[in-house]
Amino acid sequence: TRRLRPVAALACAWAVGAWLAPAQAQTVMKIGYSTAKDSHYGVGSTVFCDEVAKGTGGRYSCQHFPNAALGGEREMIEAVQLGTQDLVNSSTGPLGNFVPEVKVVDIPFLFRDYDHARHTLDGPIGQDLLKKMHAKGLPGLAWTENGFRHMTNSKRPIVKATDAAGLKLRTMENKVHMEGYKTFGLLPTPMAWPEVFTALQQGTVDGQENPIPVILSAKFAQVQKHLSLTGHVYSPAVLIVSPAIWSKLSDADKKVFTEAAQKGAAAQRRKVNDDEANGIAQLKKDGMQVVEKVDGDSFRKAVAPAFANFAKEFGADRIAAIQAVR
Ligand code: EAX
Protein backbone atom coordinates (compact mmCIF):
# COMPACT_ATOMS: atom_id res chain seq x y z
CA THR A 1 0.00 0.00 0.00
CA ARG A 2 1.10 3.51 -0.70
CA ARG A 3 1.59 5.74 2.26
CA LEU A 4 1.59 9.48 2.22
CA ARG A 5 4.77 10.98 3.50
CA PRO A 6 4.26 12.85 6.81
CA VAL A 7 4.63 16.31 5.29
CA ALA A 8 2.20 15.54 2.50
CA ALA A 9 -0.22 14.04 5.02
CA LEU A 10 -0.05 17.19 7.12
CA ALA A 11 -0.57 19.43 4.13
CA CYS A 12 -3.49 17.28 3.10
CA ALA A 13 -5.05 17.42 6.58
CA TRP A 14 -4.55 21.19 6.65
CA ALA A 15 -6.20 21.60 3.23
CA VAL A 16 -9.18 19.47 4.22
CA GLY A 17 -9.42 21.26 7.59
CA ALA A 18 -9.25 24.65 5.93
CA TRP A 19 -11.92 23.59 3.51
CA LEU A 20 -14.20 22.26 6.27
CA ALA A 21 -13.68 25.33 8.44
CA PRO A 22 -13.05 28.28 6.15
CA ALA A 23 -10.57 30.80 7.53
CA GLN A 24 -12.51 32.88 10.08
CA ALA A 25 -12.69 36.54 9.32
CA GLN A 26 -10.92 38.55 11.99
CA THR A 27 -12.23 41.96 12.88
CA VAL A 28 -10.05 44.43 14.75
CA MET A 29 -12.34 47.06 16.25
CA LYS A 30 -11.31 50.61 17.03
CA ILE A 31 -12.31 51.61 20.56
CA GLY A 32 -11.95 55.21 21.73
CA TYR A 33 -12.15 56.99 25.08
CA SER A 34 -11.14 60.32 26.62
CA THR A 35 -8.55 59.36 29.20
CA ALA A 36 -5.42 57.21 29.44
CA LYS A 37 -5.21 53.45 29.03
CA ASP A 38 -4.52 53.01 32.77
CA SER A 39 -7.54 55.15 33.75
CA HIS A 40 -11.03 53.88 34.61
CA TYR A 41 -12.08 54.03 30.94
CA GLY A 42 -8.98 52.12 29.85
CA VAL A 43 -9.40 49.48 32.55
CA GLY A 44 -13.07 48.90 31.65
CA SER A 45 -12.38 48.88 27.92
CA THR A 46 -9.49 46.44 28.31
CA VAL A 47 -11.58 43.94 30.28
CA PHE A 48 -14.38 44.27 27.71
CA CYS A 49 -12.01 43.71 24.78
CA ASP A 50 -10.22 40.77 26.43
CA GLU A 51 -13.56 39.09 27.16
CA VAL A 52 -14.79 39.63 23.61
CA ALA A 53 -11.58 38.18 22.17
CA LYS A 54 -11.86 35.18 24.48
CA GLY A 55 -15.56 34.62 23.85
CA THR A 56 -15.29 34.83 20.07
CA GLY A 57 -12.12 32.77 19.79
CA GLY A 58 -10.23 35.81 18.53
CA ARG A 59 -12.64 36.63 15.72
CA TYR A 60 -13.14 40.05 17.35
CA SER A 61 -10.45 42.07 19.06
CA CYS A 62 -9.70 45.75 19.75
CA GLN A 63 -7.24 48.44 18.93
CA HIS A 64 -7.31 51.06 21.70
CA PHE A 65 -7.36 54.81 21.10
CA PRO A 66 -7.07 56.38 24.57
CA ASN A 67 -6.58 60.09 25.38
CA ALA A 68 -9.23 61.26 22.91
CA ALA A 69 -7.00 60.19 20.02
CA LEU A 70 -10.17 59.76 17.93
CA GLY A 71 -11.64 63.09 19.08
CA GLY A 72 -14.03 64.38 21.71
CA GLU A 73 -16.96 62.34 22.95
CA ARG A 74 -19.50 64.01 20.64
CA GLU A 75 -17.32 63.22 17.63
CA MET A 76 -16.72 59.64 18.75
CA ILE A 77 -20.42 58.95 19.36
CA GLU A 78 -21.22 60.36 15.94
CA ALA A 79 -18.52 58.20 14.32
CA VAL A 80 -19.85 55.08 16.05
CA GLN A 81 -23.36 55.86 14.84
CA LEU A 82 -21.98 56.20 11.29
CA GLY A 83 -19.83 53.08 11.65
CA THR A 84 -16.49 54.81 10.96
CA GLN A 85 -15.51 53.98 14.57
CA ASP A 86 -16.45 50.63 16.10
CA LEU A 87 -16.68 51.26 19.82
CA VAL A 88 -16.73 54.12 22.28
CA ASN A 89 -16.62 54.18 26.06
CA SER A 90 -18.06 57.62 26.75
CA SER A 91 -19.72 59.68 29.43
CA THR A 92 -23.29 60.76 28.79
CA GLY A 93 -21.99 64.34 28.37
CA PRO A 94 -23.05 64.79 24.73
CA LEU A 95 -25.24 61.68 24.49
CA GLY A 96 -28.50 63.50 25.17
CA ASN A 97 -28.01 65.35 21.88
CA PHE A 98 -28.40 61.97 20.13
CA VAL A 99 -30.83 60.22 22.49
CA PRO A 100 -32.91 62.85 24.33
CA GLU A 101 -34.40 60.30 26.78
CA VAL A 102 -30.94 59.85 28.33
CA LYS A 103 -30.74 63.47 29.51
CA VAL A 104 -32.73 62.73 32.67
CA VAL A 105 -29.73 60.94 34.24
CA ASP A 106 -27.65 64.13 33.95
CA ILE A 107 -29.72 66.13 36.45
CA PRO A 108 -27.52 67.54 39.25
CA PHE A 109 -28.06 65.99 42.69
CA LEU A 110 -30.35 63.32 41.23
CA PHE A 111 -28.39 60.33 42.55
CA ARG A 112 -27.64 60.09 46.27
CA ASP A 113 -24.49 57.99 45.97
CA TYR A 114 -22.71 55.38 43.86
CA ASP A 115 -24.99 52.54 44.93
CA HIS A 116 -28.08 54.52 43.96
CA ALA A 117 -26.68 55.39 40.53
CA ARG A 118 -25.43 51.87 39.80
CA HIS A 119 -28.67 50.20 40.93
CA THR A 120 -30.71 52.59 38.79
CA LEU A 121 -28.63 52.07 35.66
CA ASP A 122 -28.36 48.28 36.06
CA GLY A 123 -32.10 48.04 36.82
CA PRO A 124 -35.14 48.50 34.57
CA ILE A 125 -34.69 52.29 34.18
CA GLY A 126 -31.13 52.04 32.90
CA GLN A 127 -31.82 49.00 30.76
CA ASP A 128 -34.75 50.79 29.14
CA LEU A 129 -32.43 53.71 28.30
CA LEU A 130 -30.01 51.27 26.61
CA LYS A 131 -32.94 50.13 24.44
CA LYS A 132 -33.72 53.76 23.57
CA MET A 133 -30.10 54.08 22.47
CA HIS A 134 -30.39 51.00 20.24
CA ALA A 135 -33.44 52.58 18.61
CA LYS A 136 -31.32 55.65 17.71
CA GLY A 137 -28.59 53.60 16.07
CA LEU A 138 -26.36 53.64 19.15
CA PRO A 139 -26.44 50.14 20.64
CA GLY A 140 -25.49 50.66 24.29
CA LEU A 141 -24.05 47.43 25.74
CA ALA A 142 -23.68 48.35 29.42
CA TRP A 143 -23.42 51.34 31.74
CA THR A 144 -19.77 51.72 32.62
CA GLU A 145 -18.96 54.77 34.78
CA ASN A 146 -17.28 58.13 34.88
CA GLY A 147 -18.11 59.07 38.50
CA PHE A 148 -19.42 61.88 40.67
CA ARG A 149 -18.16 65.19 39.37
CA HIS A 150 -16.25 67.68 41.52
CA MET A 151 -15.23 71.27 40.77
CA THR A 152 -11.68 72.49 40.28
CA ASN A 153 -10.60 76.07 39.66
CA SER A 154 -7.63 78.41 39.72
CA LYS A 155 -9.23 81.22 41.76
CA ARG A 156 -10.49 80.20 45.20
CA PRO A 157 -11.68 77.38 47.44
CA ILE A 158 -15.35 76.55 46.90
CA VAL A 159 -17.12 75.63 50.11
CA LYS A 160 -20.64 76.82 49.32
CA ALA A 161 -22.60 77.76 46.21
CA THR A 162 -21.90 81.48 46.56
CA ASP A 163 -18.15 80.74 46.34
CA ALA A 164 -18.76 79.27 42.91
CA ALA A 165 -20.70 82.28 41.71
CA GLY A 166 -19.03 84.25 38.95
CA LEU A 167 -16.49 81.59 38.00
CA LYS A 168 -16.17 80.76 34.33
CA LEU A 169 -16.44 76.99 34.32
CA ARG A 170 -15.90 74.65 31.40
CA THR A 171 -18.78 72.21 31.11
CA MET A 172 -19.50 69.33 28.82
CA GLU A 173 -21.76 69.97 25.83
CA ASN A 174 -24.73 69.16 28.03
CA LYS A 175 -27.73 71.46 28.42
CA VAL A 176 -28.97 69.83 31.64
CA HIS A 177 -25.64 70.43 33.35
CA MET A 178 -25.46 74.00 32.07
CA GLU A 179 -28.94 74.79 33.28
CA GLY A 180 -28.19 73.31 36.68
CA TYR A 181 -24.82 75.02 37.10
CA LYS A 182 -26.28 78.43 36.27
CA THR A 183 -28.30 78.15 39.50
CA PHE A 184 -24.96 78.03 41.38
CA GLY A 185 -24.07 81.37 39.78
CA LEU A 186 -21.42 79.74 37.60
CA LEU A 187 -20.84 80.89 34.04
CA PRO A 188 -20.95 77.60 32.12
CA THR A 189 -18.74 77.41 29.05
CA PRO A 190 -19.35 74.27 26.97
CA MET A 191 -16.21 72.86 25.41
CA ALA A 192 -15.11 69.54 23.92
CA TRP A 193 -12.82 67.50 26.15
CA PRO A 194 -9.65 67.65 24.00
CA GLU A 195 -9.51 71.44 24.44
CA VAL A 196 -9.90 71.52 28.22
CA PHE A 197 -6.30 71.19 29.46
CA THR A 198 -5.07 74.05 27.26
CA ALA A 199 -8.07 76.22 28.17
CA LEU A 200 -7.26 75.76 31.86
CA GLN A 201 -3.57 76.36 31.28
CA GLN A 202 -4.17 79.56 29.32
CA GLY A 203 -6.89 80.79 31.67
CA THR A 204 -9.59 80.88 29.01
CA VAL A 205 -11.77 79.40 31.77
CA ASP A 206 -11.28 79.51 35.54
CA GLY A 207 -12.22 75.94 36.18
CA GLN A 208 -13.85 72.72 35.16
CA GLU A 209 -15.64 69.81 36.84
CA ASN A 210 -14.93 66.10 36.53
CA PRO A 211 -14.71 62.95 38.61
CA ILE A 212 -11.50 62.17 40.55
CA PRO A 213 -10.34 59.50 38.04
CA VAL A 214 -10.50 62.07 35.23
CA ILE A 215 -8.82 64.83 37.27
CA LEU A 216 -6.01 62.38 38.03
CA SER A 217 -5.62 60.99 34.53
CA ALA A 218 -5.73 64.41 32.86
CA LYS A 219 -3.15 65.77 35.35
CA PHE A 220 -5.29 68.80 36.13
CA ALA A 221 -3.24 69.36 39.32
CA GLN A 222 -0.69 70.94 36.95
CA VAL A 223 -3.14 73.68 35.96
CA GLN A 224 -5.69 73.94 38.82
CA LYS A 225 -5.03 74.96 42.41
CA HIS A 226 -8.38 74.24 44.06
CA LEU A 227 -10.45 71.08 44.22
CA SER A 228 -13.82 70.97 45.99
CA LEU A 229 -15.54 67.67 46.55
CA THR A 230 -18.90 69.03 45.43
CA GLY A 231 -20.15 65.73 43.96
CA HIS A 232 -22.77 67.93 42.30
CA VAL A 233 -23.74 65.44 39.62
CA TYR A 234 -23.20 61.78 38.80
CA SER A 235 -21.59 61.25 35.40
CA PRO A 236 -22.73 57.96 33.88
CA ALA A 237 -20.79 56.36 31.06
CA VAL A 238 -21.75 53.75 28.52
CA LEU A 239 -20.07 51.34 26.17
CA ILE A 240 -21.51 51.72 22.68
CA VAL A 241 -20.87 49.54 19.63
CA SER A 242 -21.48 50.68 16.07
CA PRO A 243 -24.69 49.42 14.45
CA ALA A 244 -22.48 48.24 11.56
CA ILE A 245 -20.77 45.73 13.87
CA TRP A 246 -23.82 44.92 16.01
CA SER A 247 -26.09 44.07 13.09
CA LYS A 248 -23.57 41.53 11.79
CA LEU A 249 -23.25 39.61 15.07
CA SER A 250 -24.94 36.26 15.65
CA ASP A 251 -27.16 35.99 18.71
CA ALA A 252 -24.38 34.04 20.44
CA ASP A 253 -21.84 36.78 19.67
CA LYS A 254 -24.27 39.45 20.85
CA LYS A 255 -24.44 37.64 24.15
CA VAL A 256 -20.63 37.52 24.32
CA PHE A 257 -20.41 41.29 23.66
CA THR A 258 -23.11 42.12 26.22
CA GLU A 259 -21.63 39.98 28.97
CA ALA A 260 -18.15 41.31 28.19
CA ALA A 261 -19.47 44.86 28.52
CA GLN A 262 -20.98 44.01 31.91
CA LYS A 263 -17.63 42.65 33.09
CA GLY A 264 -15.90 45.73 31.71
CA ALA A 265 -18.37 47.95 33.55
CA ALA A 266 -17.71 46.16 36.83
CA ALA A 267 -13.94 46.63 36.38
CA GLN A 268 -14.38 50.29 35.44
CA ARG A 269 -16.47 50.91 38.55
CA ARG A 270 -13.87 49.18 40.74
CA LYS A 271 -11.26 51.54 39.32
CA VAL A 272 -13.52 54.53 40.09
CA ASN A 273 -13.83 53.23 43.67
CA ASP A 274 -10.03 52.92 43.93
CA ASP A 275 -9.44 56.42 42.60
CA GLU A 276 -12.05 57.89 44.95
CA ALA A 277 -10.31 56.12 47.86
CA ASN A 278 -6.71 56.93 46.95
CA GLY A 279 -6.76 59.73 44.39
CA ILE A 280 -7.50 62.67 46.66
CA ALA A 281 -4.33 62.05 48.68
CA GLN A 282 -2.42 61.90 45.39
CA LEU A 283 -3.92 65.19 44.18
CA LYS A 284 -2.90 66.84 47.46
CA LYS A 285 0.64 65.55 46.95
CA ASP A 286 0.46 67.03 43.48
CA GLY A 287 -0.19 70.42 45.10
CA MET A 288 -3.96 70.80 45.01
CA GLN A 289 -5.80 72.44 47.90
CA VAL A 290 -8.79 70.25 48.60
CA VAL A 291 -12.05 71.31 50.24
CA GLU A 292 -13.44 68.03 51.55
CA LYS A 293 -16.29 69.44 53.65
CA VAL A 294 -18.44 71.17 51.07
CA ASP A 295 -21.74 72.74 52.11
CA GLY A 296 -23.81 70.45 49.88
CA ASP A 297 -27.09 71.89 51.07
CA SER A 298 -26.22 75.32 49.70
CA PHE A 299 -25.86 73.73 46.24
CA ARG A 300 -28.99 71.59 46.61
CA LYS A 301 -31.02 74.63 47.66
CA ALA A 302 -29.71 76.66 44.74
CA VAL A 303 -30.63 74.02 42.17
CA ALA A 304 -34.03 73.13 43.67
CA PRO A 305 -35.98 75.70 41.59
CA ALA A 306 -34.51 74.24 38.37
CA PHE A 307 -36.22 70.93 39.18
CA ALA A 308 -39.53 72.48 38.09
CA ASN A 309 -38.09 72.86 34.60
CA PHE A 310 -36.51 69.41 34.68
CA ALA A 311 -39.91 67.97 35.66
CA LYS A 312 -41.54 69.77 32.76
CA GLU A 313 -38.93 68.48 30.32
CA PHE A 314 -38.52 64.89 31.58
CA GLY A 315 -41.70 64.23 33.56
CA ALA A 316 -41.96 64.52 37.34
CA ASP A 317 -42.86 60.83 37.43
CA ARG A 318 -39.65 59.77 35.69
CA ILE A 319 -37.54 61.83 38.07
CA ALA A 320 -39.46 60.49 41.05
CA ALA A 321 -39.03 56.92 39.78
CA ILE A 322 -35.25 57.39 39.77
CA GLN A 323 -35.26 59.03 43.19
CA ALA A 324 -37.28 56.10 44.54
CA VAL A 325 -34.68 53.47 43.54
CA ARG A 326 -32.96 51.98 46.60
O1 EAX B 1 -15.70 61.19 29.99
O2 EAX B 1 -15.67 65.80 28.91
C3 EAX B 1 -15.64 65.44 30.09
O4 EAX B 1 -15.52 66.25 31.01
C5 EAX B 1 -15.76 63.96 30.42
O6 EAX B 1 -16.04 63.80 31.77
C7 EAX B 1 -14.49 63.27 30.04
O8 EAX B 1 -14.37 63.37 28.65
C9 EAX B 1 -14.52 61.79 30.41
**Residue among 178, 238, 183 nearest 209 (CA):** 178
Distance 244 CA to ligand 1 centre (A): 25
Can you tell me the ipTM of this complex?
A: 0.99
User: With pLDDT > 70 as the criterion, what percentage of the chain qualifies?
Assistant: 93
**How far from each other are the two terminal CA atoms of the chain, in whole angstroms?**
77
Q: How far is the CA of 205 from the centre of ligand 1 (A)?
A: 16
What gap in Å lies between CA 294 and CA 230, rounded to an integer?
A: 6
Closest approach atom of ligand 1 to CA 146: 1
Render 258-310 in DSSP notation, one character per residue.
HHHHHHHHHHHHHHHHHHHHHHHHHHHHTT-EEE-S--HHHHHHHHTTHHHHH
Give the pLDDT score at 24.
75
Contact 142, 51 (CB under 8 A): no
What is the per-residue pLDDT across 175-227, written as a single tens digit (0 to 9) for each?
999 999 999 999 999 999 999 999 999 999 999 999 999 999 999 999 999 99
CB-ligand 1 contact for 117 (6 Å cutoff): no
Q: How far is the CA of 190 from the centre of ligand 1 (A)?
A: 12
The tens digit of pLDDT for each residue in 240-299 reads 999 999 999 999 999 999 999 999 999 999 999 999 999 999 999 999 999 999 999 999
Alpha helices (H) along 155-203: 161-164, 175-182, 196-202
Give the Å distance between the CA of 91 and the centre of ligand 1. 6
For residue range 42-91, what is the model confidence (pLDDT) as tens digits? 999 999 999 999 999 999 999 999 999 999 999 999 999 999 999 999 99
76 SS3 class: helix
Residues 6+ apart with CB under 8 A from 274: none
Q: Indicate whether residue 86 lines ligand 1 (CB < 6 A).
A: no
CA 34 to ligand 1: nearest atom: 8
Q: Mean per-residue pLDDT for 152-174? A: 98
Q: Is the CB of 236 under 6 A from ligand 1?
A: no
